[in-house]
Structure 1
Amino acid sequence: MTAHVHHSHHGEALNQAARDAMARSGEQWTTMREAVFTALASFDRPASAYDIADKVSADQGRRVAANSVYRILDLFVGANLARKVESANAYIANDHPDCLHDCIFLICDSCGATRHIDDDRLSGGVRAAAKAAGFAPERPVIEVRGKCGECEAQ
């Protein structure tokens, strides 16, 4: 398996990496964007815009609309701060936003745990197949559904 070598960030280092990535993309790091990113990063599983809106609302003591969160999440995906798990319509924080690559998600149908792995051969093969078919791939989405090791052992 060919894997990217990247440094994963956590806590304040992740927030700083997110701020830096937004600045590189020419976007501002607003109070609301920071609140949405902090909420997203706090989940240990993919979170929907509604989950994130509820968390931000509770943290701020005022109602935040899911539509506002969706717009920010779209911006985060474009800036490589978040990844969308398409089959679940949910998002995870990208703990290495300084590394742009295709992700492969392993999603447990039993507990919902989602693991991200890198395999340049697989994602490169998908890109090459798309190009050979006359298609310009922008963002391959590779998701594998099944059971994680913990659920499989039960």
Structure 2
Amino acid sequence: MAHVHILHEGNSLSRAAQDALQRAGEQWTPMRAAVFDALTAFGRPASAYDIAEAVSKAENRRVAANSVYRILDLFVGANLVRRVESANAYVANAHPDCLHDCIFLVCDNCGQTTHIDDDSVTERVRSAAEQAGFAPVRPVIEVRGRCEDCAKR
């Protein structure tokens, strides 16, 4: 049976993230909301430094990247945000109520990153790791290449 996602965006995404974080026993503070909103405003993977700069401008005060990193770590743990390992950057999870292993398609030209779910692929990765005596916690697969728009150029 296929899994159906509810993909959130805009206010719906912020509300879904807030609900998921609170279900995880954490508070949705104004700073956490500001970090989440700044991340979603980028529309592409953003580093903690990018987010700190955006929040600093919005709040008219300096926000340290270390504070943003702590919040992002919390968000990753609560499935609100995914980390694009090769770019050391983050993207909002458009379906925080679903727990899947990540497959990212990363454009080497423009940086666009698309998150897809294919549980059959990630289950095979998990199985191969287990057969090698490794206990996988959360596989992240990144496929580097060119997005559709850049491939046309």
Amino acid in the other structure paired with 1:124: E
Higher relative contact order (CA 8 A, sep 6+): 1
Distance 1:10 1:107 in 2: 20
State the secondary structure of the residue aligned to 1:83. Answer: strand
Output one character per residue of 1:77-113: Cα deviation in whole Å (capped at 9) or x when no partner.
0000000000000000001100010110000000111
Distance 2:55 2:26 in 1: 21
Matched pairs, number? 153
State the secondary structure of the residue aligned to 2:22. Answer: helix
> Would the alpha carbon gap of residues 109 and 47 (structure 1) be closer, same or farther in structure 2, given more than 3 Å must change?
same
Equivalent residue, structure 1, for 2:42:
43
What CA RMSD, in Å, does the superposition of the two structures yield over aligned residues?
1.2
Give ranges in structure 1 of 5+ residues lacking alignment: none
Amino acid in the other structure paired with 1:55: A
Equivalent residue, structure 2, for 1:72:
71
Distance 1:58 1:105 in 2: 29
Give ranges in structure 2 of 5+ residues lacking alignment: none
Q: Give structure 1 regions of 4+ aligned residues with deviation exceeding 3 angstroms.
A: none
TM-score (norm 1): 0.96
Distance 2:12 2:116 in 1: 21
Amino acid in the other structure paired with 1:69: V
Distance 1:10 1:151 in 2: 25
Amino acid in the other structure paired with 1:20: D
Equivalent residue, structure 1, for 2:10:
11
Alignment map for 1:16-27 (pairs within 5 Å)? 16-27=15-26
TM-score (norm 2): 0.97
